[in-house]
Amino acid sequence: RPMKVFVTRRIPQEGIRVLSNAGAFEVSVWESDEPVPRAELLKGVAGVDGMLCLLTDRIDTEVLNAAGAELKVISTMSVGFDHLAIEEIKKRGIRVGYTPDVLTDATAELTVALLLATARRLLEGVQEVKSGGWSSWKPLWMCGYGLNGSTVGIIGLGRIGMAIARRLKPFGVNKLLYTGRAPKPQAVEVEGEYVILDKLLSESDFVVVACSLTPETQGLCDKAFFAKMKRTAVFVNTSRGALVNQEDLYEALSSGQIAAAGLDVTTPEPLPTDHPLLTLKNCVVLPHIGSATYSTRGTMAELAATNLLAGLTGKAMPSELAL
Ligand code: GLV
Ligand code: GLV
């Protein structure tokens, strides 16, 4: 019988092209721009050999059971894999493909854009222009914080963290601190100094979260975390929302414990429009668009499809997650 594949969303043409050129596969696609409803996901994966999913699909035991014993490959069109029940997947001998590297530059660019937009109050400024709040050029009005001469602290100096560091350094950053599980040899390239988290928080003017979401990092940015930051510091998160305790962040922002926050990721996603964080002028929230350039999304889809087919035909995937 031909192998069956379920794709959980409409994806860029680059990915579809790879799948349709493969020939002997029966490909079914959830043809929508919105996430597949849970019930349809459970139906769609029944009896498949492989699935191409997104970070919005929670692939847990229920989904694996619904798929059945034929499931050999899960390919996610994302670098993050916290939405996959990795232990259960490993137990079943299922291979996992993901899309690191190809989104590193786009995500680092977005992080820099968000950092500058937050520190220099760009959205607030645009709002003032539109609402008539701009009465004159004023010496003390709309001031923020600059990168020149600053100390930047990066939590997680992996692929994306390094790409952020490389881009920030030329802005005149004086000192680059980083923390993580262990010192990274590649840090020499950006003159990064490995420090413990407490030191990073107390010395940094910009704290950038670029680590992956794991049981160890979940809720890392909490009350104690923000209390250690400078009152003039800017917090930026482009990784996963669950790294942050949002009630604690709200408190830190509204009490002046920290200066501002830029978030590309939240809990939940989408963030409800009446969420307290959205009432704050010093909080910039973006709708999880780190990798959202036309070219990067196309490349991600192509890589996810290529990973899937390679896995199904018993070949080495270009990007396979080591389980
Ligand atoms: C985006 O958040 C990704 O994991 O690719
Ligand atoms: C995260 O995926 C990273 O590569 O830093």
pLDDT tens digit sequence for 79-104: 999 999 999 999 999 999 999 999 99
What is d(CA 73, CA 75) in angstroms, rounded to the nearest whole number? 6
Instruction: With a cut of 90, say whether residue 60 has pLDDT above it.
Output: yes
Res. 1 pLDDT band, cuts 50 70 90: confident
Q: Say if residues 252 and 82 touch (Cβ distance below 8 Å).
A: no
pLDDT (0 to 100) of residue 23: 80
pLDDT (0 to 100) of residue 254: 98
Bond preceding residue 268 cis, omega within 30 of 0: yes
pLDDT (0 to 100) of residue 283: 98
| Residue length of the chain | 323
Instruction: Report which residue type is found at 131.
Output: S
pLDDT (0 to 100) of residue 24: 84
Question: Would residue 288 show up in a list of annotated catalytic residues for this protein?
Answer: yes
159 CA distance to ligand 2 centroid (A)?
A: 5
Structure tokens at 174: 């004086």
Instruction: With a cut of 90, say whether residue 137 has pLDDT above it.
Output: yes
What is d(CA 254, CA 107) in angstroms, rounded to the nearest whole number? 28
Given 9, 83, 159, 288, the catalytic residue? 288
Q: Which residues line ligand 2 (CB under 6 A)?
A: 79, 100, 156, 158-161, 210, 212
pLDDT (0 to 100) of residue 40: 98
Considering the chain, what percentage of its residues have pLDDT values greater than 70?
A: 100
Instruction: With a cut of 90, say whether residue 21 has pLDDT above it.
Output: no
Q: Say if residues 15 and 305 touch (Cβ distance below 8 Å).
A: yes
Q: Say if residues 45 and 23 touch (Cβ distance below 8 Å).
A: no
* pTM for the model: 0.96
Q: Which residue has the tokens 């490349």?
A: 299
Instruction: With a cut of 90, say whether residue 319 has pLDDT above it.
Output: yes
Among the bound ligands, the one closest to the CA of 107: 1
Res. 16 pLDDT band, cuts 50 70 90: very high
Res. 45 pLDDT band, cuts 50 70 90: very high
The dihedral region occupied by 291, where left means phi > 0, alpha psi between -120 and 50, and beta the remainder, is alpha
Task: Name the nearest CA neighbour of 309 among 11, 12, 10, 17.
Answer: 17
2 CA distance to ligand 1 centroid (A)?
A: 31
The mean pLDDT value for 237-265 works out to 98
pLDDT (0 to 100) of residue 257: 98
What is d(CA 120, CA 26) in angstroms, rounded to the nearest whole number? 51
User: Considering just the CA atoms, what is the radius of gyration of the chain in Å?
Assistant: 21
258-268: string of b/e by CB count within 10 Å (b at 16+)? bbbbbbbbbee
- Ligand 2 atom 1, closest CA: 160
Q: Cβ–Cβ contacts within 10 Å for residue 173, how many?
A: 19
Q: Which residue has the tokens 């069956």?
A: 4
By most ligand atoms within 8 Å of CB, the mutation choice from 77, 81, 104 for ligand 2 is 104
Q: Which residues line ligand 1 (CB under 6 A)?
A: 55, 78-80, 103, 290-291
ipTM above 0.85, yes or no: no
Instruction: With a cut of 90, say whether residue 22 has pLDDT above it.
Output: no
Structure tokens at 268: 């939940």
pLDDT (0 to 100) of residue 276: 98
Sign of the torsion formed by the C-alpha atoms of 200, 202, 204 and 210: positive
Q: Which residue has the tokens 């070219």?
A: 295
Atom of ligand 2 nearest to the CA of 161: 5
Q: Say if residues 164 and 186 touch (Cβ distance below 8 Å).
A: no
The mean pLDDT value for 34-46 works out to 98
